[in-house]
């Protein structure tokens, strides 16, 4: 390629793509909107993953780090927190990549537009022959970079799903934002603990993140250190019953993911959690005492709520791809060829078929959606899936189609495999957490891998 490959995002999958570019002697530029590598991961750094280190280090990245001679590999059998994943792997990897003569890693560089150089979306003639024009915003202003290919590994972290049932914020959701948290609070932090201790907290969502929040709140309620009796939880579920929300337990091939579900089941049965089913939020209103009332589309109402924690997943941001041609599934927002394999109506376990550059490519040649973004709103994305995706994509960009087409992917079963409908589709939206993510107080050593459906 005459111009470098531009990789959007310095998270686990974006940095893995850069490591494969090094091995393929391709020039690359990694563009990261945050102030450092794994910036999104750092925002849920208190979360312990339910995969061990051996599943969280990309093979090419490992080879690159070991060759540098300055990296100490962590114990592969242990389970890191997000912060440990960032500090002990992502940050050292980004440093090695930035020092490599084939590329650079740029921070505080937010991609605001991708198009074909000199051509807007309507122009057909000669389109494939022109490089990409990548528009970025930096602290010093706007820049325009030329790219031979674009690998979008920007994830979904910046686009949390709202509380509202229609896919848009509920009535009053924005007006009461000071009492609503999106994501996973750190209940071991004194400031966070003080916010929720002794309060009536509504938790919306059913997946691994929601379950970890339930565990944290129940632990908070039972802790003498909180010093605030009366903590109680209303668990808002869109589904008609709790059902198999807690996963496969002992049948889960990821032992700690199964344990998370069992501990969440115990928390939900503790007497401190009220399950409110078939609840799809229509409005959030503030009372005269400053507390909230949350109303469902079917008329149910949960009153006297002090705080709301929304863990209903995240969605991809396509706003900066409006001038390139995309072929996406209309419901998931994932590449259309991949969508049927990962749709929660049809997929509930580790049965995603091996896939690579051919499933991830877009009608705009040289543009690939990878990592968590490639799953759109679908749940259960695993880091190891992303590592294999970018290995295939970079091999294809290097012209090695034999290697690119030789895709291998073996994923762990969840233990919940009922076929279509195993997860209630409206609730099975993507859970955030960088690339892996689901919450749990670190001292409980409850760990998670990937995104479970909320």
Q: What is the mean pLDDT of residues 33-55?
A: 92
What digits encode the pLDDT tens for the residues 349-384? Answer: 456 778 999 999 999 999 999 999 999 998 778 899
Look-up: residue for tokens 């938790």? 203
Fold match flag (5-158+314-405 vs 177-312): yes
Q: Could you tell me the pLDDT band of residue 127, with boundaries at 50, 70 and 90?
A: confident
Q: Could you tell me the pLDDT band of residue 268, with boundaries at 50, 70 and 90?
A: confident
Higher pLDDT, 254 or 430: 254
Q: CA-to-CA distance for 409 and 300, rounded, in angstroms? A: 44
Higher pLDDT, 429 or 352: 352
Res 330: pLDDT: 94
Average pLDDT in the chain: 85
Q: What is the 3-state secondary structure of the chain?
A: CCCCEEEECCCHHHHHHHHHHHHCCCCEEEECCCCCCCHHHHHCCCCEECCCHHHCCCHHHHHHHHHHCCCCCCCCCCCCEHHHHHHHHHHHHHHHHHHCCCEEEECCCEEEEEEECCECCCCCCCHHHCCEEEEEEECCEEEEEEECEEEECCCCCCCECCCCCCCCCCECCCCCHHHEEECCCCCCCHHHHHHHCCCEEEEECCCHHHHHHHHHHHHHHHCHHHCCCCCEEEEECCCCCCCCCCCCHHHCCCHHHHHHHHHHHHHHCCCCEEEECCCCEEEEEECCCCCEEEEECCCCEEEEECEEEECCCECCCCHHHCCCCCCECCCCCCEHHHHHHHCCCCCCCCCCCCCCHHHHECCCCCEEECHHHHHCCCCCCCHHHHHHHHHHHHHHHCCCHHHHHCCCCCCCCCCCCCCCCCCCHHHCCCCCCCCCCCCCCHHHCCCECCCCCC
Is a pLDDT exceeding 70 seen at residue 327?
Answer: yes
Res 429: pLDDT: 29
Is a pLDDT exceeding 80 seen at residue 36?
Answer: yes
Res 254: pLDDT: 54
Res 413: pLDDT: 58
Res 63: pLDDT: 98
Res 416: pLDDT: 42
Mention the CATH class of domain 177-312.
alpha beta
Q: Could you tell me the pLDDT band of residue 256, with boundaries at 50, 70 and 90?
A: low
Is a pLDDT exceeding 70 seen at residue 245?
Answer: no
Percent over 70 (pLDDT), the chain: 83
Res 56: pLDDT: 96
Which token pair is 245?
A: 């929300």
Instruction: Choose the weakest-confidence range: 11-20, 85-94, 280-289, 389-398.
Output: 280-289
Instruction: Choose the weakest-confidence range: 25-29, 157-161, 254-258, 390-394.
Output: 254-258
Percent over 90 (pLDDT), the chain: 65
Res 1: pLDDT: 82
Res 451: pLDDT: 34
Pick among 3.50.50.60, 3.30.70.3150, 3.40.50.970, 3.40.50.2300: CATH of 5-158+314-405 = 3.50.50.60
Res 258: pLDDT: 62
Nearest CA among 432, 343, 366, 441 for reference residue 131: 366
Length of the chain equals 454
Report if pTM > 0.85: yes
Q: Could you tell me the pLDDT band of residue 434, with boundaries at 50, 70 and 90?
A: very low
Tally Cβ neighbours within 10 Å of residue 392. Answer: 28
CB 357 within 8 A of CB 393: yes
- Domain range annotation of the chain: 5-158+314-405, 177-312
Q: Best-predicted range by mean pLDDT among 27-36, 284-293, 337-346?
A: 27-36
Is a pLDDT exceeding 50 seen at residue 418?
Answer: no
φ, ψ of residue 127 in degrees (nearest 5) = -60, -45
Is a pLDDT exceeding 60 seen at residue 422?
Answer: no
φ, ψ of residue 91 in degrees (nearest 5) = -65, -45
Q: Could you tell me the pLDDT band of residue 17, with boundaries at 50, 70 and 90?
A: very high
Q: What is the mean pLDDT of residues 36-61?
A: 93
Res 248: pLDDT: 47
């Amino acid at each position: 390629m005459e111009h470098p490959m531009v990789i959007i995002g310095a998270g686990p999958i974006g940095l893995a793509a850069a490591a494969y570019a090094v091995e393929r002697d391709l020039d690359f530029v990694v563009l990261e909107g945050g102030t450092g590598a794994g910036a999104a991961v750092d925002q849920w750094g208190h979360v312990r993953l339910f995969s061990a280190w051996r599943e969280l280090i990309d093979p090419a990245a490992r080879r690159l780090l070991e060759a540098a001679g300055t990296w100490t590999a962590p114990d592969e059998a242990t389970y890191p927190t997000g912060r440990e994943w960032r500090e002990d792997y992502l940050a050292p990897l980004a440093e090695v990549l930035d020092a490599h003569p084939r590329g650079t890693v740029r921070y505080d560089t937010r991609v605001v537009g991708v198009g074909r150089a000199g051509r807007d979306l309507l122009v057909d003639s000669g389109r494939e022959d022109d490089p990409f024009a990548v528009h970025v915003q930096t602290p010093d202003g706007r820049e325009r970079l030329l790219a031979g290919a674009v690998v979008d590994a920007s994830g979904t972290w910046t686009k949390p799903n709202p509380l509202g049932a229609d896919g848009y914020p509920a009535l009053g959701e924005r007006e009461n934002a000071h009492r609503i948290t999106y994501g996973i609070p750190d209940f071991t932090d004194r400031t966070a603990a003080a916010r929720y201790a002794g309060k009536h907290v509504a938790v919306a969502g059913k997946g691994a993140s929601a379950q970890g929040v339930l565990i944290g709140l129940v632990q908070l309620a039972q802790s003498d250190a909180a010093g605030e009796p009366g903590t109680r939880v209303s668990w808002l579920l869109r589904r008609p019953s709790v059902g198999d929300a807690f996963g496969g337990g002992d049948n889960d091939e990821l032992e700690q993911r199964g344990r998370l579900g069992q501990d969440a089941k115990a928390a939900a049965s503790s007497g401190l959690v009220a399950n409110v089913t078939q609840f799809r939020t229509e409005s959030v209103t503030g009372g005269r005492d400053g507390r909230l009332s949350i109303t469902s589309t079917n008329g149910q109402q949960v009153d006297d709520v002090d705080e709301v924690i929304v863990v209903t997943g995240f969605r991809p941001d396509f706003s900066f791809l409006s001038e390139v041609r995309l072929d996406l599934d209309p419901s998931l927002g994932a590449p259309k060829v991949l969508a049927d394999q990962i749709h929660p109506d049809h997929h509930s376990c580790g049965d995603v078929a091996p896939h690579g550059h051919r499933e991830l490519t877009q009608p705009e040649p040289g543009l690939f959606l990878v990592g968590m973004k490639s799953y759109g709103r679908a749940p259960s994305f695993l880091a190891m899936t992303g590592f294999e995706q970018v290995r295939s994509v970079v091999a294809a960009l290097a012209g090695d189609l034999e290697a690119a087409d030789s895709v291998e992917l073996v994923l762990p079963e969840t233990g919940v495999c009922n076929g279509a409908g195993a997860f209630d589709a409206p609730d099975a939206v993507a859970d955030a957490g960088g690339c892996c993510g689901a919450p749990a107080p670190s001292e409980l050593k409850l760990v998670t891998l990937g995104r479970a459906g909320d």
